[in-house]
Structure 1
């Protein structure tokens, strides 16, 4: 399925997941991708990723299914009114040189795949992120993974095709601007929310 589908990531979703990783540079972080499937009559289907919801930065929380289930329920309930659903997952490894998709990302991806068969997993490239925040690159700082017919998660685009695009070409410039103003300090994930429920996991006003 993944080869027949393209994935378009909005500026809001992209910047938010990048800021989440920048807030916790020594930790693995993850989150949910929210969007919708756009079926084109004469073209490939497109998964439009509209937003990202930061989940965790505490290592012991990442694999916990109850935490994931609670987050999924809250996110699905909130975004359903907008016609959006959970369409994928993002992950950033703790070590800057680690470019391997970890088992926890595959497991969460499998879980989302059960309800959304076009699910995407985005793995953040820490080295590309460093270049982007310096204003030196317009390349996406995430790598797309999709699940193939053998139920394995495969890196997309290795055949030269471009399945992943940023909706706004200037997104990395906007990210760099937000880093300059230290917006990453304001990111709230579910770990933060569970520690202090006054902190809003929806991050209203973060990218204003």
Structure 2
């Protein structure tokens, strides 16, 4: 098996990218997280979809996380997709570090899916994007090194968006307040009629 940490290039598709950022925008005063789905081919990881997980006190609890991971893995494995990463956005706007809660959850995901990498929202980049001063992804990439620690990957060439227009679409979604339509696993656990797949988001 190829581990994500051994790979050199990470490509995130527009669908996966927009979902995780909108989820964070929807819950500006809370930490939020998501699971990243995709495929590994040689030294390239393609993140094709994402599932927003939690935005409440559930974020650090293992039982809800395990329920979510089992449900998500069962659904997406039938489509030939695997869990290839974890996304986290911090509670505070100016917090740009991968904190202990995020690292613990990432370690748990890694234990079950040893190919997992971590994406962390960078609010500075998101702000620059809204001012049209930045065109790269508004997320930072972390991988697990040989010491089993999560280290930020400094090269911005290692993480790219699949579609060059992804940030333009993201800005359009933010300005039209599309983030109000995002459903996460927290919402689904509260009301099982809510669609955690967000099937209608891009329609």
Tell me if TM exceeds 0.5: yes
Q: How does 1:1-208 map to 2 (within 5 A)?
A: 2=5, 4-39=7-42, 45-58=43-56, 60-157=57-154, 160=155, 162-208=157-203
Say whether the 8 Å CA contact 1:47–1:118 is kept in structure 2.
no
* Structure 2: distance between partners of 1:76 and 1:94: 27
Summarize deviations over 1:98-121 as a string: whole Å, max 9, x none.
011011221222222234333110
Task: Kindly state the Cα deviation for residue 3 of structure 1 after the two structures are TM-superposed.
Answer: 5.3
List per-residue Cα deviations over 1:11-35 (Å, max 9, x = no partner).
0000110000000111111110011
TM-score by length of 1: 0.91
Superposition RMSD in Å? 1.4
How far off is 1:161 after superposition? 6.5
**For structure 2, which runs of at least 5 residues remain unmatched after alignment?**
none
Contact 1:137–1:172 under 8 Å retained in 2: no
Unaligned runs of 5+ in 1: 40-44
- Does the CA contact (< 8 Å) of 1:120 and 1:145 recur in 2? yes
**TM-score where L is the length of structure 2:** 0.93
Q: What SS class does the counterpart of residue 62 from structure 1 fall into?
A: helix
